[in-house]
Structure 1
Amino acid sequence: MLKSLELFAGAGGLALGTELAGFHAVAAIERDRWACETLEENKARGFPLVKDLRVVCGDVRDIDYSSIPSDLDLISGGPPCQPFSIGGKHRAFADERDMFSTFADVVARLKPRSFIIENVKG
């Protein structure tokens, strides 16, 4: 079984896609309470792709990753990158909302076989 970890999970769209591609998420980490509740509700309703998903509601910078398996095949996620948005303040790395480097730090620490990082225009 291919193991993955979902960072900045949102309501789980990317995690669902990787599950359909053959990965099993060992955890989905998201700090937004509403997104976490959506994931938990979908689990409670027995939706097959998330019924066994471990939802961690918290900031990826504050998570203890020691319980994450060391043999991850994939880390996936869509970190907020407001500092680089065409509609933002353009403060780049001086903007504390930049989670791109946080995503890279987790990848460097856990050393998965691969990673997918999603970003959208704007």
Structure 2
Amino acid sequence: MSPAHSAEDTTAAAEDGFDHLIHAPARLRICAALEPVREIEFGTLLSVLGLSKSALSKHISMLADAGYVAQRRAVRDTRQRTWLHLTESGRSAYQGHVAALRRIVGDA
């Protein structure tokens, strides 16, 4: 396990729904972008988030390893494209995490 991927990140969400894996800013933004859509093309997500290809790939891999994001590869316009979507467990974890954040900030 790499230092950037701690044991805390690999555990399921806490009982209150707070998810340390999703909480990292880039991964939270990825989940937020994927939550309202059926799927999105990697290049589009890259543009929306303004991350480098390597950074986005790293964060997508971490989310995919946790079972939160799935990838579909297809040829479009004669080029290989990667389409991403939240899995059911990813959608549930993201929604639980957002609910936990709302409880934390409460009446602030």
TM range (shorter): under 0.3
| Larger relative contact order, structure 1 or 2 (CA cutoff 8 Å, min sep 6) | 2
After TM superposition, the score normalised by the length of structure 2 is 0.28
After TM superposition, the score normalised by the length of structure 1 is 0.26
Between Structure 1 and Structure 2, the one with more helix by share is: 2
